[in-house]
Structure 1
Amino acid sequence: MRKIIKTGLPEGSAPVEWATVGGRTLYTASIPIYEDGSLETGSIEEQTRLTLANLQKIVEAAGGTLDDVTQVQVILTEKRYFEGMNEVYREFFKAPFPNRATIVADLMVPGAKIEIIANAWLEG
């Protein structure tokens, strides 16, 4: 059964939740959005930092930490953002790192340069 995690992030009009848990696995996606619903439109470093801060908030709301994240999928709108994203990513994740894939694609949120999809294993 799917359990919804309340994150404090704004609810949108799309039929989607910020985070769900099935069994002991957390499923989530994060974008560079503030609690008031506004989007960070600055550099890739600023957007990555907010996106990862949101991910951390989501994982903690589910009872875990970033050390519980097992897989990350990073979606960037341009390949040139890879190094800036990686620089900030290292501020949030330490070795041993989660499994990760990075994809370049268009995003549905205008102005967003990054979206992160993550899974985490939650203890008990």
Structure 2
Amino acid sequence: MRKVVKTHLPSDKAPIEWATKGGNVLYTAHIPIREDGSIETGDIKAQAQLTLQNLKRTVEAAGGTMDDVTQVLIYLPDKNDFAGMNEVYRTFFKQPFPNRATVVAGLMVPDARIEIVAYAHIGG
């Protein structure tokens, strides 16, 4: 059964939850959104920092740590943002790193340069 994880992020505009758990697995997706619902429109480093900070806060709200994150899927609309994203990404994870894929794809949120989908195994 799916349980909602309450986060610090706004959830009244779209038919989504920022995070859910099924058993001991956390399912979550993040964009560079602030608590007030506005989007960070800076460069990839600023957007990656906010997006990963949102992920970290969500994992902690679910009772875990970033060490519990087992897989990360990153979507970037511009392959030239890979190096800047990777620089910030390294500050949020330590070895052994989560399994990861990075895909160049169009994003639905205007001005967003990153979207992250992550899975974490928390407890159990």
1:58 and 1:69 mapped to 2: Cα distance?
A: 11
In structure 2, the partner of 1:29 is 29
* 84-93 or 11-20, which deviates more: 11-20
In structure 2, the partner of 1:100 is 100
1:14-48 Cα distance to aligned partner (Å, 9 max, x none): 21100000010000001101000111000100000
In structure 2, the partner of 1:65 is 65
Matches within 5 A, 1:1-124: 1-124=1-124
**Per-residue deviation at 1:12?**
3.8
Aligned residue pair count: 124
- Cα RMSD after superposing both structures: 0.7
* Runs of 5+ consecutive residues of structure 2 not aligned to the other structure: none
Deviating runs (4+, > 2 A) in structure 1?
none
**Per-residue deviation at 1:89?**
0.2
Name the SS for the 1:97 alignment partner. Answer: coil
Name the SS for the 2:85 alignment partner. Answer: helix
1:20 and 1:110 mapped to 2: Cα distance?
A: 25
Name the SS for the 2:91 alignment partner. Answer: helix
Q: TM (normalized to structure 1)?
A: 0.98
Name the SS for the 1:91 alignment partner. Answer: coil
* Residue type at the aligned position of 1:61: A
- The 1:57–1:21 alpha-carbon spacing in structure 2 relative to 1, beyond 3 Å, is same
Q: TM (normalized to structure 2)?
A: 0.98
2:34 and 2:13 mapped to 1: Cα distance?
A: 16
* Residue type at the aligned position of 2:36: D
2:14 and 2:36 mapped to 1: Cα distance?
A: 17
**Per-residue deviation at 1:110?**
0.4
